[in-house]
Amino acid sequence: MSNLTNKKIPSGLDPWNALRVHTDARIGLGRVGDGLPTERLLEFQMAHARARDSVHMAFEADSVRAQLDGLDHPILDVHSAAPDRPTYLQRPDLGRLLDDESAATLGQHAGDYDVAFILADGLSARATHDHAANTLSLILDQLGESWSVAPVTLATQSRVGLGDEIGAALGAKLTVMLIGERPGLSSADSLGCYLTWGPKRGRSNADRNCVSNIRPAGLTPEKAAKKIAYLMTESRKMGLSGVALKDNSSNPDLIEG
Amino acid sequence: MQTGAPFSFERFTFPDLKTLLAKASPLRSGDVLAGLAASSDEERVAARFALADVPLKRFLSEALVPYEDDDVTRMIIDDHDADAFAPVSSMTVGEFRNWLLGDDATPEALKHLAPGLTPEMVAAVSKLMRNQDLIAVAKKCHVVTAFRNTIGLPGHLSVRLQPNHPTDDPAGVAASILDGLMHGSGDAVIGINPATDSPEAMIELLKLIDEVRERIDIPTQSCVLAHVTTAIDVMARNAPVDLVFQSIAGTQKANESFGINLSMLAEAEDAAKGLKRGTVGDNVMYFETGQGAALSADAHEGIDQQTVEARAYAVARKYSPLLVNTVVGFIGPEYLFDGKQITRAGLEDHFCGKLLGVPMGCDVCYTNHAEADQDDMDNLLTLLGVAGCNFVIGVPGADDIMLNYQSTSFHDAMYLRSVLGLQPAPEFAAWLRKMEILDQNGRTRPQLDGQAAQNLLAWSGAA
């Protein structure tokens, strides 16, 4: 980079625009007086609009269900106790509880499972629409035959904690929740994955493992699936999740390929 | 301490001071979430009528969290300066508001009064104030601090340059520092939120900032916002620590959830002062706070979020900080729902901090799930500039790519200085002129092709 000062700068740009190769931060934007040039202003507005649309977009469980066509497990729809988006955003406690109908549905499918997968809208339905089904099938490819898998749930108006209720109701030893993360300005489609051993109401984040920023431009679904499958295997072996379960999946000795 | 008689106004009664304060607080989602908010607009205003009649002295005899249970309460009571309190000691909360707005409340009088005020008194009077009252009184409170430059002088506005990067990549951080300096930002502090809280990462980032600061002789200070225990660790290893950072809150329990106690803060302040790195002053602490932090840790002790936030400023005050930053919209809509609530909270926090004698700045910010946008940020930023806020935040293009939220930008700070005629810290302004970043009229008009700019670019290239 030390030869950057010698680089030919395209005319009309902030001459330091070239520094942008080092960071995704919005540097070298130029200025008009003290303000932003029009194009930069509108770029920001578009990024914000996309992020907000991701937050407020209705979760289309049916379209996710269609993407899961061919999956060998039953698929159930559940809803949290938050009836709508405004309530959901202001009452995170309700987003962690099942509504009565969903609790009854899950009760009918209770069993003794190794794992329950939950695909949830969270704070970005877009992330779930775009990446959850694909990530789930990649995880299943990694797992092999030795896992008994509960019915897959599609959860609307869901916070991470809803997985505890779902896992407990289904009788699963482990929950793996794929949920839309709070969108950043440049990452409206980022999916998170939370693993919780022994799901039950009142679990805290210290009891969970998280794999974050799953999206094509971040941690790719392929890489995420390997990481998640590794954590699932270790979790089952150790009978726990959370701070005591370390992610060594980047160690090539532990992970194939 | 005893709980006194209940409070009432017309058909409304309020059993204790804590409930009265909560019900009198302007509506916000965090108090609703906690089950503390008034159940109607009428009850809210009735609580304000009742609160207006409460003698200020009552706050010294009725603690919101018991003295025996909470070290923040003990600090507030034990450190109270009765002599400083004397001029207002016979007033009610309502009379205190009138006095604050009146001509007797000069900057000098307010400065002498500060040690006599408790955060609960300050929070109480804020609940009786409109936004313009919060601005008018805060503007009279001058809290000036110094390290390598002087921050908080009337007519000045400083900026924290926040060059965060998701992986702490040195070239990425350096590029953002460069961009900020060339826009006139960085006089409050060049402060990085590290992606990893480890001594090694902290030392590497500190050295990065220190090198550019020394190479081109920038009169400012650096900070890597790691945990206070990490800072204590690296100071013992002779790392170049200017300011020690810590997030703080208004109850012992909430501070414990941050992994801190008051003696840790004292230890850190002593250690940083001992390094004697300041040139024009020795304020060595940088604190961050924000409404909702105590509730989110389930440690609010039944206190409304604005009052418990003010108690955090009493914690800050004890350690003579250079900077205290309320990160007002970061926490999300379950605590501050929309632009209106964020704006109100920002003005309250700035007012309460300044009245207590704390050098308040504000991270005017929001998340993408809040009902807010850049227009709301422009409004609050402008109001805080009018109120005499010590500093704001500068993030490239207002987009923090590490913490995933929107703050204010270098451009926003240029706008604010320009429309209100505010100057950077004097020592820093002189440096900006030398670097051909400020022009003769005090405007930020960097000479990007000049020699000074090329020197900066060369440093960045080496990072």
Kindly list the domain boundaries of chain B, sorted by start residue: 7-140, 145-452
Helix (H, G, I), strand (E, B) or coil at A252: coil
Domain-embedded: residue A227: yes
What are the Cα distances from residue B371, in Å, to A52, A143, B178, B366?
Answer: 9, 41, 32, 9
CA angle at B155 for the pair B160 and A36, rounded to the nearest 5°: 50
What residues of A are in contact with residue B443 (Cβ under 8 Å)?
A: 34
What are the Cα distances from residue A253, in Å, to A200, A257, B344?
Answer: 34, 10, 54
Question: Which of the 8 DSSP states describes residue B334?
Answer: T
What residues of B are in contact with residue A184 (Cβ under 8 Å)?
A: 368, 401, 404-405
What are the Cα distances from residue B375, in Å, to A66, A80, B151, B418?
Answer: 40, 33, 27, 18
What does the pLDDT read at residue A253?
A: 43
Task: Tell me the percentage of chain B whose pLDDT exceeds 70.
Answer: 99
Mean pLDDT value of segment B327-333:
94
Spatial distance between the Cα atoms of B308 and B297, rounded to a whole number of angstroms: 12
Q: Taking Cα atoms as reference points, which of B256, B171, B194, B39 lies closest to residue B459?
A: B171
- Contact (Cβ atoms closer than 8 angstroms) between residue B184 and residue B431: no
Helix (H, G, I), strand (E, B) or coil at B43: helix
What does the pLDDT read at residue B2?
A: 52
Spatial distance between the Cα atoms of B149 and B188, rounded to a whole number of angstroms: 8
Closest approach of A137 to chain B, Cα-based (Å): 28
What are the Cα distances from residue A239, in Å, to A170, A197, A234, A254, B336?
Answer: 18, 7, 8, 19, 39
What does the pLDDT read at residue A257?
A: 31
Closest approach of B107 to chain A, Cα-based (Å): 32
What does the pLDDT read at residue A199?
A: 97
In what helix (H) or strand (E) does residue B406 lie, and over which residues does it extend?
strand B405-406
Domain-embedded: residue A230: yes
Contact A219/B at CB under 8 A: no
Domain count of the fold of chain A: 1
* pLDDT value at B455 more than 90: no
What residues of B are in contact with residue A92 (Cβ under 8 Å)?
A: 33, 334
What does the pLDDT read at residue A2?
A: 36
Q: Taking Cα atoms as reference points, which of B344, B350, B439 lies closest to residue B388?
A: B350
Q: Which of A185, A186, A189, A243 to mutate to test the interface with B (most CBs of B within 10 A)?
A: A185
Closest approach of A45 to chain B, Cα-based (Å): 9
- Contact (Cβ atoms closer than 8 angstroms) between residue B219 and residue B146: no
Domain-embedded: residue A231: yes
Mean pLDDT value of segment B8-16:
95
What does the pLDDT read at residue A7?
A: 41
CATH number at residue A111: 3.40.50.11240
Task: Tell me the percentage of chain B whose pLDDT exceeds 90.
Answer: 90
Spatial distance between the Cα atoms of B438 and B446, rounded to a whole number of angstroms: 6
Q: Tell me which residue in B368, B404, B414 faces A55 most closely, judged by beta carbons.
A: B368
* pLDDT value at B462 more than 80: no
Mean pLDDT value of segment B199-220:
94
The boundaries of the domain holding residue A130 are: 56-238
Which fold is adopted by the domain B145-452? TIM Barrel (3.20.20)
Mean pLDDT (chain A) is 89
Domain-embedded: residue A11: no
Spatial distance between the Cα atoms of B194 and B56, rounded to a whole number of angstroms: 42
> Chains A and B: how many Cβ contacts under 8 Å?
139
Place of tokens 């130029």: A30
In what helix (H) or strand (E) does residue B19 lie, and over which residues does it extend?
helix B17-24
What residues of A are in contact with residue B417 (Cβ under 8 Å)?
A: 34
Contact A15/B at CB under 8 A: yes
- Contact (Cβ atoms closer than 8 angstroms) between residue B113 and residue B81: no
Mean pLDDT value of segment B156-174:
94
Angle between helices B131-140 and B339-355 (to 10 degrees): 30
Sites in chain A below the pLDDT cut of 70: 1-15, 247-257
Helix (H, G, I), strand (E, B) or coil at A197: strand
What does the pLDDT read at residue A249?
A: 62
What does the pLDDT read at residue B394?
A: 98
Place of tokens 């300041």: B278
Spatial distance between the Cα atoms of B124 and A113, rounded to a whole number of angstroms: 55
- Contact (Cβ atoms closer than 8 angstroms) between residue B222 and residue B209: yes
A90/B399 CB distance under 8 A = no
Spatial distance between the Cα atoms of B134 and B127, rounded to a whole number of angstroms: 10
**Is the overall model pTM greater than 0.95, yes or no?**
no
Number of H helices, E strands in chain B: 22, 14
Mean pLDDT value of segment B428-456:
89
Please write the tens of the pLDDT for every residue from B378-420. 999 999 999 999 999 999 999 999 888 999 999 999 999 999 9
Task: Spell out where chain A has E strands.
Answer: 75-79, 113-120, 152-156, 172-180, 191-197, 208-214
The strand pairing partners of B400, in sequence order, are: B405
Q: How far is CA B335 from the centre of its chain?
A: 17
Q: Phi and psi for A256 in degrees, rounded to 5?
A: -80, 145
When mean pLDDT is compared across A89-103, B2-16, B131-145, B149-163, the lowest value belongs to B2-16
Domain-embedded: residue A42: no
Please write the tens of the pLDDT for every residue from A90-137. 999 999 999 999 999 999 999 999 999 999 999 999 999 999 999 999
Closest approach of B195 to chain A, Cα-based (Å): 14
Domain B7-140 has CATH 1.10.220.70: yes
- Contact (Cβ atoms closer than 8 angstroms) between residue B323 and residue B391: yes
Mean pLDDT (chain B) is 95
Please write the tens of the pLDDT for every residue from B106-119. 999 999 999 999 99
What does the pLDDT read at residue B463?
A: 67
Domain-embedded: residue A254: no
Six token digits for residue B70: 């909470």
Closest approach of A15 to chain B, Cα-based (Å): 7
What are the Cα distances from residue B274, in Å, to B204, B241, B247, B284?
Answer: 21, 11, 22, 10
Contact A86/B at CB under 8 A: no
B461/A4 CB distance under 8 A = yes
Q: How far is CA B432 from the centre of its chain?
A: 25
Contact A16/B at CB under 8 A: yes
Q: Which residue of A has its CA nearest to B164?
A: A25
